[in-house]
């Protein structure tokens, strides 16, 4: 989920914690639990700082080890080590319980996004991505904000957010049911599909669709259970040519390939250089595929420039590459 949603979820956990008699009877425990819940709801995303290095490192590692089983167990201890000295009268066990719940909830809800997490590490490096909730979901964020206003006007925060989370559980079940109906519709249109990726958007009944069959890629959109195929590409295996093999050694392309399961590729040859482009098919937007990896190599197949990330215009891509003008 996005940062804002994680923040309001942390506040919600702090509100629910008021139902705990140990928390309710101690101002030190209540205050420290609220701080622990807010920090715990954010700390797994500390790997966002990797963006300061480059996109390749960020793509390879975001929601990786910081969202793993050992991290979920260790983050609450790290937070307690910082918070507890300021609240020595707080109940340490209950502070740990509620902080742990905030950390766990962060990782748990991220599993339902299309991006997913490596939440099963170290047992598996597989990305767990159920793809039923958009990274920012207006309903989930909005109902949390509504709960905070209700709390501010005097309602009991614990009971308020218990009701809200009951509604959210029902919402998640509806999202699963809607996704399943889209999946059934896709299979009816493309019966020989070998892999189907259905990704949510911010709109409840609107979904992105990317499909692989043995010989083709299909990209479309679904509204409710009506699927419309927008683009269709022949599925051409990546050949083991000298240009492509050299390009694969680039860190940006390597990061892209570790993250993107459905993509097509292009190789363009110019007077004095080659350009290799890999295009993720999951994120079609207004007829454009913005998530790409591009590598430029000279005639000796030495990498001169590369980039991976979100690009919405060719002009901006050229600025990112900025070594060979194109």
- The residue to which tokens 């392309």 are assigned: 253
Q: How far is CA 302 from CA 11, 151, 292, in A?
A: 51, 61, 20
- The residue to which tokens 């299309």 are assigned: 114
93 and 212 co-located in one domain: no
Domain end (from 76, 98, 130): 130
Polymer length of the chain: 326
In order along its 326 residues, the chain shows pLDDT tens digits of 899 999 999 999 999 999 999 999 999 999 999 999 999 999 999 988 877 777 888 877 788 899 999 999 999 999 999 999 999 999 999 999 999 999 999 999 999 998 888 899 999 888 888 999 999 999 999 999 999 999 999 999 999 999 999 999 999 999 999 999 999 999 999 999 999 999 999 999 999 999 999 999 999 999 988 999 999 999 999 999 999 999 999 999 999 998 888 999 999 998 889 999 999 999 888 888 999 999 999 999 999 999 998 888 777 777 777 654 44
Q: How does DSSP assign 9-60, residue by residue?
A: HHHHHHHHGGGSHHHHT-HHHHHHHHHHHHHHTTGGGGGGGGGGT-HHHHHH
Residue 166 lies in a domain: no
Residue 280 lies in a domain: yes
Q: How far is CA 240 from the centre of its chain?
A: 31
Secondary element (H or E) of residue 310: strand 303-310
Is residue 204 classed as helix, strand or coil in its secondary structure? coil
223 and 246 co-located in one domain: no
Residue 31 lies in a domain: yes
Domain end (from 234, 254, 277): 234
115 and 34 co-located in one domain: yes
| Range(s) of the domain holding residue 202 | 175-234
Q: How far is CA 109 from the centre of its chain?
A: 10
CA nearest neighbour of 65 among 87, 41, 83, 43: 43
Number of domains in the chain: 3
Burial class (CB in 10 A: 0-12, 13-18, 19+), 1: buried
Domain end (from 66, 95, 130): 130
Q: Where are the beta strands (DSSP E) in 157-298?
A: 193-200, 206-213, 216-223, 226-234, 263-269, 273-280, 291-298
């Amino acid at each position: 989920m996005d940062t804002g949603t994680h923040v309001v979820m942390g506040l919600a956990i702090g509100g629910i914690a008021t139902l705990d008699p140990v928390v309710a009877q101690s101002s030190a425990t209540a205050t420290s639990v609220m701080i622990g819940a807010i920090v715990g709801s954010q700390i797994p995303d500390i790997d966002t700082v990797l963006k300061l290095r480059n996109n390749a490192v960020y793509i390879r590692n975001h929601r990786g080890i910081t969202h793993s089983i050992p991290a979920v167990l260790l983050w609450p201890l790290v937070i307690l080590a910082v918070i507890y000295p300021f609240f020595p009268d707080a109940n340490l066990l209950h502070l740990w319980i509620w902080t742990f719940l905030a950390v766990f909830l962060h990782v748990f809800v991220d599993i339902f996004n299309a991006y997913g997490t490596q939440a099963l590490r170290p047992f598996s490096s597989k990305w767990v991505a159920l793809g039923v909730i958009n990274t920012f979901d207006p309903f989930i964020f909005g109902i949390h904000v509504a709960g905070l206003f209700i709390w501010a006007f005097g309602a009991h925060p614990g009971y308020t957010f218990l009701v809200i989370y009951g509604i959210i559980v029902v919402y998640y079940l509806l999202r699963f049911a809607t996704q399943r109906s889209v999946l059934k519709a896709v299979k009816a249109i493309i019966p020989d599909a070998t892999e189907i990726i259905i990704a949510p958007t911010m709109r409840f009944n609107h979904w992105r669709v990317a499909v692989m069959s043995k010989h083709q890629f299909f990209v479309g959109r679904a509204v409710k259970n009506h699927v419309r195929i927008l683009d269709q590409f022949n599925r051409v295996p990546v050949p083991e040519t000298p240009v492509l093999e050299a390009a694969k050694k680039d860190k940006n392309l390597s990061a892209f390939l570790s993250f993107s399961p459905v993509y097509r590729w292009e190789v363009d040859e110019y007077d004095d250089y080659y350009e290799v482009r890999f295009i993720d098919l999951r994120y079609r937007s207004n007829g454009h595929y913005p998530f790409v990896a591009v590598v430029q190599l000279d005639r000796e197949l030495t990498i001169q420039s590369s980039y991976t990330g979100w690009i919405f215009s060719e002009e901006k891509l050229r600025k990112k590459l900025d070594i060979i003008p194109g």
